[in-house]
Structure 1
Amino acid sequence: MREIFLRALSRVGAGMSDILNTPNNIYSLLNGKLKMLPAKGGYRAAIDPVLLAASISASEGEQILDMGCGTGAATFCLAVRKPFIRAMGVDSQGPLIAIAKKIATLNKLEGNIKFKNIDLLDLNNTEKFPQFDHVMANPPHMKKGSVRPSPDPLKVAANIENHAVLLDWLKVSFKVVAIGGTVTFIHRYERRYELIAEMEKYGSVSVFPIWSRMSGNTARRVIIQCRKGAFDETKILDGLILHQLNGDYTETANTILRDLSPINI
């Protein structure tokens, strides 16, 4: 899928000289409501962070953490949807954080959004880090050694786990989220059982499959959300079909991607 390739933006180090910040290089998300900047190679944010942000039901004044935020696409999409929230994005790649701050200024969103350059595992060891009402993440989707690495380091960093594996991402998420808050991941559908098994240790789980086409094929993505401290039965929701048979977005997908409709989980 196109999204897999474009996800490279979210976990890649690029020097400030690589930032493409002229007006002709600005692209938009959410039907022009959000301006973004590409990084080296022209890599742009994909559909995954847009869908992830749509699934977060935040109330006024709540604090949200975007873990492994890259250049902040999910953070910004959520801020456009919920301008009354306070959000923080963290990532181990300092140059990406610099781009995120630049995008925040471009969209005049720097007031309620902060970005920090911190590694996931360092975050786990930071006892004074605040408790968040919601944590969201779009981590690398492939296990190390499960696929042949691309010669393109951008793709490798975006798609393949490194020193922090999926279990690490989950443990840190539940450490920094408050009781009653939510942890929400978007991931490959094939790895849903790993996510569900770990999340069920902490609270109630809801599973939202995402299909690429209206053809009955297996879902390609899944959004899984856990409410910490609540222990209802795991729910499998109807999910979302992204594309019609002709390749156009479905009406439901369009309302989410363009008109700010939420994904209700």
Structure 2
Amino acid sequence: MDITEGTLLDGRLRYMQPREGFRSGIEPVFLAAAIPVRADQRILEAGSGSGATLLCLAARVPGIAATGVEIDPVLVSLAAENAVANGLNGLRFVVGDITGTLEIGLFDHACANPPYHAPGGTPSPLASRARAKIAPAGLFVAWIAALARYLRPNGTLSLILPAPALPACLEALSAARCGSVMLLPLWPRAGQRAKLVLLRAVRDGR
């Protein structure tokens, strides 16, 4: 696989990712900034890719213990290399399906930048990009239910997603007994509708 190296957070972090396929944008940076984690807490990410979200989070809050679950073993290896390259020893990346059975314990916080495009149209010929972008039927329900399962009582679940996906996400959160929802629309500029929304819910919240 052809790898490209760049930086995150204005050069604070070295970051390797595949040259082709799904590439990290601004979403992981926003997501990491929104998670209310402390240095003594554990955090779980579903679909962690090359590790951008957890790298940014560990740079902001040194001392966290974070686990990224990713189905693509190539991306898991890259994420682990990124953690080592930046001296972030509290990050662990594992190959797995977040909706399956994983022996990873419980967490204070969970997060995801889930696939969001409905099936249809012309799929990407690159499997990794298709997995990262295409949302099969029931994905929000399955991912949110799985993440909620790994949360301690009153743990938080943070997501970043396109605004049109919000109704399905809110329904899935309710089914997973996650409430006390806070929303932050990300407006591109004044007078324009938000394309992305940051969302945080609380396990067993109202």
Determine which of 180, 191, 209 is the counterpart of 2:154.
180
Query: Which residue of structure 2 aligns with residue 144 of structure 1?
Result: 119
**TM-score, length of structure 1 as denominator length:** 0.72
Deviation of residue 70 (structure 1)?
0.5
Higher strand share: 2
Query: Which residue of structure 1 aligns with residue 186 of structure 2?
Result: 210
Of the structure 1 ranges 154-163 and 25-34, higher mean CA displacement relative to structure 2 is found in 154-163
1-side partners of 2:129 and 2:75: how far apart? 15
Q: Does the CA contact (< 8 Å) of 2:115 and 2:132 recur in 1?
A: yes
Query: Which residue of structure 2 aligns with residue 99 of structure 1?
Result: 78
Q: Does the CA contact (< 8 Å) of 1:101 and 1:115 recur in 2?
A: yes
Q: Does the CA contact (< 8 Å) of 1:141 and 1:160 recur in 2?
A: yes
Deviation of residue 143 (structure 1)?
1.9
2-side partners of 1:138 and 1:30: how far apart? 18
Deviation of residue 186 (structure 1)?
0.5
2-side partners of 1:19 and 1:229: how far apart? 44
Aligned residue identity for 2:180: S
Deviation of residue 151 (structure 1)?
4.1
Larger radius of gyration: 1
2-side partners of 1:188 and 1:43: how far apart? 17
Offset from partner CA, 1:119-161 (integer Å, 9 cap, x none): 1222xx33x431100000001111223xx12444254222112
Q: Does the CA contact (< 8 Å) of 2:187 and 2:194 recur in 1?
A: yes
Q: Does 1:118 align with 2:96?
A: yes
Aligned residue identity for 2:79: A
2-side partners of 1:161 and 1:226: how far apart? 21
Aligned residue identity for 1:213: R
Query: Which residue of structure 1 aligns with residue 35 of structure 2?
Result: 56
Aligned residue identity for 1:156: A
Identity %: 29
Q: Does the CA contact (< 8 Å) of 1:121 and 1:164 recur in 2?
A: no
Query: Which residue of structure 2 aligns with residue 240 of structure 1?
Result: none
Aligned residue identity for 2:71: S
Deviation of residue 209 (structure 1)?
0.7
Structure 2: where are the runs of 5+ without partners?
Answer: none
The SS at the match of 1:37 is: strand
Deviation of residue 43 (structure 1)?
5.8
Aligned residue identity for 1:175: R
**TM-score, length of structure 2 as denominator length:** 0.91
Query: Which residue of structure 2 aligns with residue 12 of structure 1?
Result: none
Pick closer, same or farther for the CA change 1:164–1:52 going to 2, 3 Å.
same
Query: Which residue of structure 2 aligns with residue 135 of structure 1?
Result: 110
2-side partners of 1:198 and 1:164: how far apart? 9
Q: 4+ residue runs of structure 1 moved beyond 3 angstroms? A: none
Structure 1: where are the runs of 5+ without partners?
Answer: 1-17, 232-265
1-side partners of 2:138 and 2:82: how far apart? 27
Query: Which residue of structure 1 aligns with residue 57 of structure 2?
Result: 78
Query: Which residue of structure 1 aligns with residue 135 of structure 2?
Result: 161
Pick closer, same or farther for the CA change 1:151–1:230 going to 2, 3 Å.
closer
Q: Does the CA contact (< 8 Å) of 2:5 and 2:17 recur in 1?
A: yes
